[in-house]
Amino acid sequence: MRAANINPRTGLATDYLNHFNEAIMLLEMIPDMPECVEDFLGWHPLSYREHFTASNFKARELAINSYDSADPGVRTEFDNITGAMTSILTAVSSAMREAKQDRTRTTLAEQATGWVKPLVALAGGIINGGSEADIENIMASE
């Protein structure tokens, strides 16, 4: 499992966070290149299973099976955080579609980045089997 970047203790793979990091990267480009809004608007949420099913990840079946077998408490905590990220990014996408000015879109992009980045770190901590104290340290440093 380690060779596939799946934590054997948690059963979760860090590759899923690339899905959110892609959205963050697009949001970070908007202040300098407002036309990147269209690229961000093309991003759409994927569940853990959907991400791996659609990916070229070599161990995608192992990733899905490990997720399904993960400790329900860990998986629920992870799903809650990734669900929050999805909600934020979906809401920002809707707001950007309604916004008429680049300045408004830039503000939305900067705010969303500030909200989602710490959640990605938190999700990474869960994937890597971090303790609650580790997670609190991650959140305190943001």
**What's the start-to-end Cα distance of the chain, in Å?**
30
Write the CB contacts of 59 (distance below 8 Å, at least 6 apart in sequence). Answer: 3, 4, 6, 13
- CA distance linking residue 113 with residue 84, whole number of Å: 13
- Contact between 121 and 138 under an 8 Å Cβ cutoff? The reply is yes
- Contact between 80 and 119 under an 8 Å Cβ cutoff? The reply is no
State yes or no: pLDDT of 139 exceeds 90. Answer: no
pLDDT tens, 30-83?
999 999 999 999 999 999 999 999 998 888 999 999 999 999 999 999 999 999
**Total structural domains in the chain?**
1
Q: What percent of the chain has pLDDT over 90?
A: 82
Angle (CA) 48-28-36 rounded to 5° is 90
Single out the residue of 142, 105, 91, 93 nearest to residue 120, CA to CA. Answer: 142
Round the average pLDDT of the chain to a whole number and report it.
90
- CA distance linking residue 69 with residue 66, whole number of Å: 5
- Mark 43-73 as b/e (b = at least 16 C-beta within 10 Å): bebbebeebbeeeebebbebbbebbeebeee
Structural domain of 77: 2-141
| pLDDT range class, residue 133, cuts 50, 70, 90 | very low
Write the CB contacts of 133 (distance below 8 Å, at least 6 apart in sequence). Answer: none
Cα 127 versus chain centre, distance: 12
